[in-house]
Each structure stands twice: as structure tokens, then as C-alpha cells.
Chains A and B, each alone.
Chain A
Amino acid sequence: MAKFQSLKEAVAENLRDGETVAFEGFTHLIPHAAAHEVIRQGIKDLTLIRMTPDIIYDQLVGMGLARKVVFSYAGNPGVGLLRRMRDAIENGWPRSIETVEHSHAAMANAYEAGAAGLPCAVFRGYRGAGLKDVNPDIRTISCPFTGEELAAVPAHRPDVAFIHAQKASRRGDVLIEGIIGVQKEAVLAAKRAVVTVEEIVEDFEGLHPNLCVLPHWTVASVVQVPGGAHPSYTHGYYARDNASYLEWDRISSDRELFSRWMKENVLDVGPDVFASRVKGL
């Protein structure tokens, strides 16, 4: 049953050191404000799952809070590499991290299997691909009917999923629209889900019956954080701040510059700054 809480309470109550957590949002609706709260609370030794780690995992990894990252595309989309994550992989700064690398298809299937309560996902994939030689979690299974050899990966079952969405109702039902990514699957695969939203409305009456809605009883906590996806975007509210993604390439290229930026823009501020960051977008 969804509780309405402050972001500080929601994070403190749901995520603990050493847990497995997925922050999802496929380019759109990335829960930046929630990740920043995790950084402020210094919750550590995390196993981070995310298809495209991008800036939020670059920040969590760069702050030394991740033990392991499970991912399928470690890039700053359209810009280039993730420099903090690279520094951790190549040089162990500020700590070394374990990586478990998949393809997008495998990650999407693994979330879906988690949501479906299955132990593993089965799909036609990884044929001829090198990842299956370096990731022992990629195995094969024979179709019992045709004999076709298929790929199998373990289901994702995170302790906590964080997502950002457009709206919640007063009951805590959550509405997501636009590029919906894997958020529904991530929430249903997780033991607990924390959702930040742009807006809380009375109810969802009159909306299209096929919109993506997560009922309040699938969500542990709902927090209103206007602008909470920035520099990602929220369809219908504000656009992607592409300039910030480009700027991150510079900030993340230098350890000291990164640390200073994190202090000024994450550690020393609160979730309320996000609303001002999306003005004019």
C-alpha cells in the first residue's frame, strides 16, 4: 500500500546498505532526484541494475556507493562514454566495481521474467556474441518441443526499484506515459518500489483505459518531486536537457571537478532544487 512520504523518508525506509536496486527509465523518466537522495544518505555496497547506466550510475559509482553494476549499455546516450564508471573499471577509483554485462534484449527479458515470477528468462539471443564467454550468467537451454537452442539469463529480482512518473492519484496509483521503457516490469519484479512523480491528482477518472498504470498496492512509497527526472525528461511536463548531458561529459572527465560538482549540486542541496532546474525546458 503506497505511503506518501518525503524523499528522505522514502529512501531511508526502503533501501539499505548492500541491497540490489534498479533505477529505471529508458532515456525518459530517469529518477535522478531519488538517486541523489541515495547519494546524500551514503547508502553503500549497492548492486545497481539498469539497462543504460548513464549519468545517475556514473554519479553513484563515482561516489563509491556501488559494489557491482548489472547493465547493457554503459554510455552517455548520444554523447559518449561514462567517465566515472570507466575510471572505476579501469583504475579502481574511488573503488573497484564488479560488472555483469548483458545485451538490452537480455536485460528487458530478465525484468519481464522477474515481474512474471519466473526464475529465468528465455529468448533467442547472444548468438555469436562475445558476452556469453565473459558473463557466466548467460547460459543456454534447449526448447523441449523443437530442440532449438535458446539463451537463458537469471530473472532480475531487485530489493528495490526506483522510478519517476507523471502522476499519482491520491490513493497512490501511478500513471506513466510516453516512452515507458521497463518501469512496469522493474516495479513488479522488485520487492519494494519507490515512485517519484511530477504531480498528485485527485483520481484518474476520464483517462484512456489502456494507459500504463501501476496500482497503489504495487508501490511502497510515492513522493512528489517536480522536475525529479532532470536532466532526463517527463513527457508532457519538460523536455530532455540535452545540454546537461553534453556538459556531464566535461564534469565527469576529471575526478576533482566531479567531486566538487557533486558537493555543490547533490550533497549540499535537497530534492526541491529539481523544480527550478526544469524551468524553461
Chain B
Amino acid sequence: MSGSDFTPNEMMTIAASRALSNDDVCFVGIGAPSAACNVARLTHAPDITLIYESGTIGTAPDVLPLSIGDGELCETALTTVSVPEMFRYWLQGGRISIGFLGAAQLDRFGNINTTVIGDYHKPKVRLPGGGGAPEIATSCKEVFITMKQTTRGMVEKIDFFTSFGHGEGGDHRRRLGIETKGPTLLITDLAVWKPDPETKEFTVVSMHPGVTREQVQETCGWKVRFADHVEETPPPTELELKTLRDLQARTERAHGGKKGA
């Protein structure tokens, strides 16, 4: 049985949650990833290990945290380590299977900008910056990205390389000595994308129910490539929708009317 009525954002979060498995050790980025990771934990992946960069390992929050260091993350974690330990032993040490990132600007090769719009030294808009992302992008075994499609966000050329995806494509990661896989999945509010095995360009492999190719292209700043066989993303199940909505309702109550990170 499927959920009868859902928003593109809900579809995005649920599609992203499905990509995670019980065995994953997931470094959860600020923003949209947090909802997806917790929906996975509350549905098909109850034993997934969620790690936030504040040092909380194996956390299971009842509401989505507003920040990556809310008290509940620590209270429900298996253990909480210092921030240097988090970045040195756990991330750099190669213990994390999936880094889950959001993006302000993204290009077709999964390179992300969350630093500046315009020139770095004379920015039009100064964004918060990378935080943990530069090393999450290269130290996790693979990287998932989730974001809403807009032509402002999905661009031909990003203004700044906050974190490295596949660079110019092909074997660019290898040439820089990066041994991890990098971005292997992009989940938007309209589609699921995977990198082409050779060129590493993100390619649409599945469109969400009711979405057209035109919609995907209109909201993307580069010429979209579609796989030979584009599937339809299965719609959210009743359980997935209920889990997400309950989580968001609890979160809104907890934070006084604002959705969590």
C-alpha cells in the first residue's frame, strides 16, 4: 500500500532514506540529510550507526536536532568523543561508510560549494563555509548528496570548491590520490541520480512519481543526462510517510515551530 498524497520534499527525504542500510556507519551533515538518516533508522535500518560531527557516535534522537550538537544527540548516543578524536580516528581513520551532505551549489560531477557566491575575496554572498565537509567528502568510503533542484543550486560551474566530488570527472579523484569513491548518489526532490561509471557525470536513473524529464531539466543548470532506462521511484509507503511526518511534528513541537536540520 502506498501513501496517497505526498510532497516532493517528502519524496526526496524518503528516497534518500532508502539508500541507507542497517550496516552503514553514516556521518550526518547539517540540513536535509539528518531527516533522511533518521527516517531510515526509524523504518528499515534500526541498527544504522549515525554519527554527527559534534562527536556523538550511534545516536538515536527522538526529534531532529536543530544543530549538530543538540543535547539529545549526546543523551541517546552510544558514546560521545572529542571533536579532534572524531575527525582523526573515526573520519580520517576510515571508519565511516557514508558521508551524507547537503549543498548550496552543486555541479554535474558532485562538487559542492557552501562557501561563497561570487569571488572568494569579494563575495556577493558569504555562506557559512565547509565545516566538516572537505574531509567528509574524501575520507568517507562514499558520499550521498541530497538537495532540492533549482537552477541556482544545480549549476554548470560552482563558484568555489568547498568539497571535492569527481572534480572534472573521469579519474580525477585518483589523480589527486583520493582513494575513496566520492559521490555515488544524488537524491533530489524530483529524481535519483548516479554517476556515469566512466565520466562520473550525474545521470538520472529514476524519476519520482509524476515527474517529467522537462521538469528535471528546467530546474537544473546543466544539460541533464538520462540513463537508457529511467525508472519510476516507488512512491512513499504509508509507514515511511507516517514515520517522516511524526518525526517532523515532534521536531516542530520541540523547537517551537521550526523544522530541524
Q: Which of B68, B71, B92 interacts with A235 by CB under 8 Å?
A: B71
B242, CB-defined interface residue at 8 Å: no
A78's nearest neighbour on chain B, judged by CB, is B66
* Complex CA distance for A114 and B128, rounded to whole angstroms: 25
Determine how close the nearest CB of chain B comes to the CB of A184; give it in whole angstroms. 7
Determine how close the nearest CB of chain B comes to the CB of A208; give it in whole angstroms. 13
B43, CB-defined interface residue at 8 Å: no
Contact with B along A72-99 (1 / 0, CB 8 A): 1111011111100110011000000000
Binds A, one of B133-141, B206-214, B215-223: B133-141
B230, CB-defined interface residue at 8 Å: no
B260's nearest neighbour on chain A, judged by CB, is A78
Contact with B along A175-203 (1 / 0, CB 8 A): 00011111011000000000000000000
* A182 in contact with B82 given A78-B67, A243-B256 (CB within 8 Å): yes
Contact partners of A162 in chain B: CB under 8 A: none
* Complex CA distance for A90 and B120, rounded to whole angstroms: 11
Binds A, one of B2-10, B16-24, B170-178, B192-200: B170-178
* A73 in contact with B130 given A127-B164, A134-B121, A179-B54 (CB within 8 Å): yes
Determine how close the nearest CB of chain A comes to the CB of B177; give it in whole angstroms. 7
Contact partners of A128 in chain B: CB under 8 A: 137-138, 161, 163-164, 167, 172-173, 176, 178
Which interface residue of B84, B120, B130, B178 has the most chain A CB atoms within 10 A?
B84
B69 x A130 contact (CB < 8 A)? no
Contact partners of A37 in chain B: CB under 8 A: none
* A181 in contact with B55 given A130-B160, A243-B255 (CB within 8 Å): yes
A112, CB-defined interface residue at 8 Å: yes
A109 x B256 contact (CB < 8 A)? no
A105 x B66 contact (CB < 8 A)? no
CB contacts under 8 Å to A, within B124-152, are: 125-135, 137-139
B163 x A129 contact (CB < 8 A)? yes
* Complex CA distance for A128 and B158, rounded to whole angstroms: 14
B255 x A103 contact (CB < 8 A)? no
A109 x B88 contact (CB < 8 A)? yes
* Complex CA distance for A44 and B163, rounded to whole angstroms: 34
A77 x B127 contact (CB < 8 A)? no
* Complex CA distance for A180 and B83, rounded to whole angstroms: 7
Contact partners of A79 in chain B: CB under 8 A: 66
B162 x A104 contact (CB < 8 A)? no
Determine how close the nearest CB of chain A comes to the CB of B256; give it in whole angstroms. 5
A179 x B80 contact (CB < 8 A)? yes
B131 x A104 contact (CB < 8 A)? yes
Total contacts A to B, CB within 8 angstroms?
190
Contact with A along B28-41 (1 / 0, CB 8 A): 00100000000000
B134 x A105 contact (CB < 8 A)? yes
B123, CB-defined interface residue at 8 Å: yes
A275, CB-defined interface residue at 8 Å: no
B74, CB-defined interface residue at 8 Å: yes
* Complex CA distance for A184 and B56, rounded to whole angstroms: 17
Question: Chain B binding site: helix, strand, loop or mixed by DSSP?
Answer: loop
CB contacts under 8 Å to B, within A107-151, are: 108-109, 111-112, 123-131, 134, 148-149
B226, CB-defined interface residue at 8 Å: no
Contact partners of B245 in chain A: CB under 8 A: none
B87 x A108 contact (CB < 8 A)? yes
* A129 in contact with B255 given A179-B80, A182-B82, A240-B70 (CB within 8 Å): no
Q: Which of B65, B123, B132, B254 interacts with A89 by CB under 8 Å?
A: B123
Q: Which of A71, A78, A112, A233 interacts with B129 by CB under 8 Å?
A: A71
* Complex CA distance for A180 and B133, rounded to whole angstroms: 20
B119's nearest neighbour on chain A, judged by CB, is A134
Contact partners of A28 in chain B: CB under 8 A: 54, 69, 71, 74
A181 x B178 contact (CB < 8 A)? no
Q: Which of B53, B67, B83 interacts with A245 by CB under 8 Å?
A: B67
* A242 in contact with B68 given A109-B88, A134-B121, A180-B80 (CB within 8 Å): no
B69 x A179 contact (CB < 8 A)? yes
Chain A residues at the B interface, C-beta cutoff of 8 Å? 26-28, 51-52, 71-75, 77-82, 85-86, 89-90, 101, 103-105, 108-109, 111-112, 123-131, 134, 148-149, 178-182, 184-185, 212, 233, 235, 239-240, 242-243, 245-246
10 new A-B contacts, CB < 8 A, other than A72-B130, A101-B129, A103-B132, are A79-B66, A90-B123, A103-B130, A125-B134, A127-B176, A129-B134, A131-B134, A134-B121, A181-B69, A243-B255
The 4 A-B pairs at the shortest CB distance, nearest first, are namely A27-B69, A128-B164, A75-B128, A77-B67
